[in-house]
Amino acid sequence: MFTACTIAGSDSSGGAGIQADIKTMTTNGVFATSAITALTAQNTTGVTDILNATPEFLGHELDAIFTDIFPDAVKIGMVSKQELIETIAQKLKQYAAKNIVVDPVMVATSGARLIDEAAIDALKTNLLPLALVCTPNIPEAELLANMSIQNETDMEKAATIIESTYGCACLCKGGHQINDANDVLVEKGQVHWFYGKRIDNPNTHGTGCTLSSAIASNLAKGYDLETSVQRAKDYLSKALAAMLDLGKGQGPMNHMFDLQGEFAQ
């Protein structure tokens, strides 16, 4: 049994964050462990409150994981405080963690900043250099590459800048009116496009969490990065295509679309 650890915030509605990560990892065939960076009170209509873990407690969570069920891959999602980012980086280096996927949750789809400048600087300085790959959306890639992205050529350029600046491969995710669902991976200077068709489903809560967790799951199983990204995109597309419709706002997708068996009946 391969294992993967998610380091992220809890989503009480179950569509994103730790909950989405664990569902994704489970359905992609790995055993999931977790270190929770924050509790959030949220549902499909938005976030109403956040309670961050202390750096000390987060460190104890990571010690508990790495000293017992050592993960074959690590996915890092929302971390909103500089001190928490520094704690994560210190523990990842202490335990020589491998196959680290960073989903740099900094900017919402609406364009709103989700973390402050100190946390962004800590992410750039401490976390990204440890990663195998980061998975920014367009606004996040603009922030990391310090440039505007208006088309697919800009996506390639930004991903190349991010890789050369921070030393990790970059999967720049499309959308945001630039293309249907086409993502570009820059790894060791090589450019690879992943083409997808946008699925007409407004319920896309947790897509970034799900994609990065699926990538980590496939890395844990021994697939190379390019294959891991392709398999993750295929999984995400099918989860969206299942057309789950829950909640009064932007609802979750069906992570368990392929779950069948005696106990599912």
Cα(79)–Cα(24) distance, rounded to whole angstroms? 19
| Antiparallel, parallel or unpaired: β 183-187 and 190-194 | antiparallel
What sign does the CA torsion over 31, 106, 174, 145 have? Answer: negative
Cα(156)–Cα(161) distance, rounded to whole angstroms? 9
Which of 33, 37, 135, 207 is the catalytic position? 207
Tokens for 237? 């597309």
Active site residue 87: no
Asked if 208 and 181 count as a contact pair (C-beta separation under 8 A), the reply is no
Cα(42)–Cα(13) distance, rounded to whole angstroms? 6
Which of 23, 91, 157, 173 is the catalytic position? 173
Active site residue 9: no
Asked if 207 and 181 count as a contact pair (C-beta separation under 8 A), the reply is no
CB atoms within 10 A of CB 115: 19
Residue 207 Cα to chain centre, angstroms: 9
Which of 17, 59, 174, 206 is the catalytic position? 206
Active site residue 173: yes
CB atoms within 10 A of CB 58: 24
Asked if 84 and 52 count as a contact pair (C-beta separation under 8 A), the reply is yes
Which of 157, 204, 210, 221 is the catalytic position? 204
CA dihedral 252, 219, 38, 26 (to 10 degrees): 50
Which of 15, 59, 208, 251 is the catalytic position? 208
Which of 17, 77, 209, 221 is the catalytic position? 209
Active site residue 208: yes
Active site residues per annotation: 173, 204, 206-209
